[in-house]
């Protein structure tokens, strides 16, 4: 398997320290590794291989990912990357298994007339402590503080209380879901795996509502998903090894 990890900015032969442990683990398995500086952008590799690579690193915009794809063949296409990375690529497909949501812009002010609350985020990232809004004033403050452009896409989600500490991250490789410590994806959510075919590598964040119902919190591209509750050795031996079997 061929993996790409981030380098330090302008030091393309030095892996970013936050990714160094995983990069070292991959090299110990005998897999080839390249380093990529998205700011330059430059790719450094000693590998002699024509096999498509799997990226493992920081989030990349659509333009940044497409630029990387011009430097080296990638196992996950730009279209497939965005289909998992951006909410607009997955929400409609799995709508019955996640929180009711709509896509909008700054002008899409939600209805607060009955005391509703909403969790607001971009297509990829939330707005931290400002993400939960319960009034038009809070909505306008969020838009002002984060300097949102009038046409910037927003993902407006019905706020649903969750059981504290119940969120877990699953990694899905070629349709098979893996949970840390051997935890299984709840049976109620297994239809999601077929709905998200043919995505090769993505993450599923799953949590329980106050009533104990499992829901998908969000989908992410596995290449840019962090490990959360996973240990590196477990992630490598289960998830990366599963990828190696099919790439």
pLDDT in tens, 130-142: 999 999 999 999 9
d(CA 182, CA 159): 29
- Is the per-residue pLDDT at 48 higher than 80? no
Q: What is the rounded end-to-end Cα distance, in angstroms, of the chain? A: 6
Burial class (CB within 10 angstroms; exposed 0-12, middle 13-18, buried 19+) of 146: middle
CA separation for the pair 124, 59 (Å, rounded): 9
State which fold the 85-96+163-246 domain adopts: D-amino Acid Aminotransferase; Chain A, domain 1 (3.30.470)
**Fold matches, 85-96+163-246 and 100-158:** no
Burial class (CB in 10 A: 0-12, 13-18, 19+), 126: middle
The arithmetic mean of pLDDT across residues 102-115, rounded, is 96
H-state helical runs in the chain: 20-28, 62-71, 78-85, 136-145, 191-195, 232-235, 241-246
CA 130 to chain centre: 21
Q: What is the number of alpha carbons within 13 Å of residue 24 lying toward its C-beta? A: 9
Looking only at the bridges linking them, the beta strands covering 54-55 and 2-8 are parallel
pLDDT tens digits, 172-228: 999 999 999 999 999 999 999 999 999 999 999 999 999 999 999 999 999 999 999
- The pLDDT > 70 percentage for the chain reads 100
Has residue 238 got a pLDDT over 80?
Answer: yes
Query: What distances in angstroms separate CA 16 from CA 6, 8, 25, 56, 223, one per listed residue?
Result: 6, 5, 14, 12, 16
Are 117 and 99 in contact by the 8 Å Cβ rule? The answer is no
Provide the CATH topology of domain 100-158: Dna Ligase; domain 1 (3.30.1490)
Averaged pLDDT of the chain: 96
Q: Where are the domains of the chain?
A: 2-75, 85-96+163-246, 100-158
Please state the rounded mean pLDDT for residues 25-38: 96
């Amino acid at each position: 398997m061929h993996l790409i990890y981030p380098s330090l900015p302008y030091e393309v032969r030095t892996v970013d320290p936050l990714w160094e442990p995983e990069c070292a683990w991959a090299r110990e398995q005998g897999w080839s590794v390249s380093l990529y500086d998205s700011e330059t952008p430059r790719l450094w590799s000693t590998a002699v291989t024509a096999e498509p690579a799997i990226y493992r690193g920081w989030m990349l915009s659509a333009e940044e990912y497409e630029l990387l794809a011009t430097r080296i063949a990638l196992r996950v296409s730009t279209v497939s990357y965005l289909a998992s990375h951006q909410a607009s690529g997955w929400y409609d497909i799995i709508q019955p298994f996640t929180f009711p949501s709509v896509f909008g812009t700054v002008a899409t002010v939600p209805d607060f007339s009955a005391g509703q609350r909403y969790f607001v985020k971009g297509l990829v990232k939330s707005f931290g402590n400002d993400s939960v809004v319960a009034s038009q004033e809070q909505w306008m403050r969020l838009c002002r503080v984060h300097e949102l452009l009038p046409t910037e896409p927003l993902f407006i989600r019905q706020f649903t209380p969750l059981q504290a500490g119940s969120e877990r991250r699953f990694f899905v490789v070629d349709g098979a879901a893996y949970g840390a410590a051997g935890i299984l994806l709840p049976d109620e959510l297994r239809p999601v795996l077929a709905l998200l075919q043919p995505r090769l590598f993505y993450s599923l964040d799953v949590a329980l509502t106050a009533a104990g119902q499992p829901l998908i919190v969000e989908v992410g591209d596995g290449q840019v998903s962090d490990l959360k509750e996973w240990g590196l050795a477990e992630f490598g031996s289960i998830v990366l090894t599963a990828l190696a079997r099919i790439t």
